[in-house]
Structure 1
């Protein structure tokens, strides 16, 4: 149990900016196992973002509250996944070979593709959340929406680790430890924490079960796209997948409301 707690805090430290006990380090073995708690970190970020929205909406209105909820989430994760999305836009937008794509993604500077991509992504996320959250009034319902979206998108992204190859050869890469190996515990852990909120969400209305289909199709497309150009994935690819799948989940729920 003590080891599992340490692995959880390792995941919390790696995937967020939330303070952790001083004895927690970036131990490669624990980082490798930390994948099992990746969606669980989504629960925490979702709780923070959802609470921010719920507290601010009555005072400032839906639109401003949504922006503040997005700010809260970004501050909690340190823009970890948004940075990955921007890097993927730059890399795959400006590179035409595996070597060039990986080199561009490694560059800390953001280019036109990354800036335009992250701007459009955040605008789409904002618009989707404004429309989506207008349909939820209670604190619990709002929290469930955020936690479900954050958890399932992280689970979907983590499954790429189990079905694809990590392509960077740089041992200094911060994502290298989580890409070396995995066991059934990582597979089961990510699935449990990723799908549990979604199961509860679907229990409220079974038609929402359809929402996972577009998310999974996008995941398959992105994995295939990454394999085509670089032969596998990088940490940035996982971050980009999480961001895109989160937005697709919101859009899927809106679509189900409108047409089903």
Structure 2
């Protein structure tokens, strides 16, 4: 019973960490519990992805696909307080504008949006919208499925970097707490929930999608270690966004060049 209670607390902390969804005010908090909550980061992705898919499906009864996608994106951004998008912009600013590790980290902590961050944010949102629009034009149900699949999977990819990378930013009173440690059991639970949606997909798609995500994680780890000597919370947000968008691109390519794989979703 105590173990189950701890798991519920960890999940609630993960929900609070990633979304604006309120949790009970008496939910316990400690750095150790926050670290343990990283196992449920991908599980929160199902919540965000399902709300986004439900929003799209509901709006589709009233509006065209393009408008429905924009509303869905806005809802998920509001739901997460643009947590990952902010990480993408800050990471782009820091890595693009800083010459030393210290300067990069300083720029990433700056609340102002720079040129690199603006380009990354604008480009990421535009590419996400365009890709989802193309998927939705081919099959609206498949686009809804894509949200439910890629939100948890991308969070698993980003969250798994905690396991074997060094956290390089010192905590301070103004910084949001970050999960900095991850045990093997936490990683296994994170990946279990994150990879589970791949079983819903045809093998011909699941395998290349998994390969691309593994390749992306490898590249992100090597790049961040080289540029920063580790990761920050902003970096995890950036990896999540790149992982999510790359997944949509893989899905769209499969639908265009192998449409016979998708009759069950049309």
Q: Where in structure 2 are the equivalents of 1:124-143 lying within 5 Å?
A: 124-138=127-141, 141-143=142-144
| Post-superposition offset of 1:27 | 2.1
Q: Distance between the aligned counterparts of 2:177 and 2:235, measured in 1?
A: 11
Counterpart secondary structure, 1:60: coil
Q: How many residues align?
A: 253
Q: Where in structure 2 are the equivalents of 1:226-245 lying within 5 Å?
A: 226-245=224-243
Q: Where in structure 2 are the equivalents of 1:173-192 lying within 5 Å?
A: 173-176=175-178, 178-179=179-180, 181-192=181-192
State the partner residue of 2:33. Answer: 30
Distance 1:26 1:256, change over 3 A: same
Distance 1:82 1:26, change over 3 A: farther
Q: Where in structure 2 are the equivalents of 1:73-112 lying within 5 Å?
A: 73-112=76-115
| Post-superposition offset of 1:137 | 4.1
Q: Larger deviation: 241-250 or 112-121?
A: 112-121
Q: Distance between the aligned counterparts of 1:120 and 1:251, measured in 2?
A: 14
Counterpart secondary structure, 1:146: helix
Distance 1:135 1:25, change over 3 A: farther
Encode CA deviations 1:39-90: one digit per residue, 9 max, x unaligned: 0100000011000101112311000000011001101111110000000010
State the partner residue of 1:223. Answer: 221
Q: Distance between the aligned counterparts of 1:158 and 1:198, measured in 2?
A: 17
Q: Tell me, yes or no, if the aligned pair for 2:168 and 2:231 is still in contact at 8 Å.
A: yes
Q: Tell me, yes or no, if the aligned pair for 2:135 and 2:143 is still in contact at 8 Å.
A: no
Q: Distance between the aligned counterparts of 1:70 and 1:104, measured in 2?
A: 27
State the partner residue of 1:256. Answer: 254
Q: Distance between the aligned counterparts of 1:248 and 1:81, measured in 2?
A: 15
| Post-superposition offset of 1:175 | 4.0
| Post-superposition offset of 1:142 | 4.7
State the partner residue of 1:213. Answer: 211
Q: Where in structure 2 are the equivalents of 1:126-205 lying within 5 Å?
A: 126-138=129-141, 141-172=142-173, 173-176=175-178, 178-179=179-180, 181-200=181-200, 202=201, 205=202
Encode CA deviations 1:169-205: one digit per residue, 9 max, x unaligned: 23544244x10x22232111101110111222x2xx2
Q: Distance between the aligned counterparts of 1:62 and 1:159, measured in 2?
A: 34
TM-score computed with the length of structure 2 as normaliser: 0.91
**Superposition CA RMSD, Å:** 1.5
Task: Show structure 1 runs of 5+ residues with no match.
Answer: none
Q: Tell me, yes or no, if the aligned pair for 1:175 and 1:234 is still in contact at 8 Å.
A: no
Q: Distance between the aligned counterparts of 1:211 and 1:41, measured in 2?
A: 20
Distance 1:244 1:137, change over 3 A: closer
Task: Show structure 2 runs of 5+ residues with no match.
Answer: 259-266
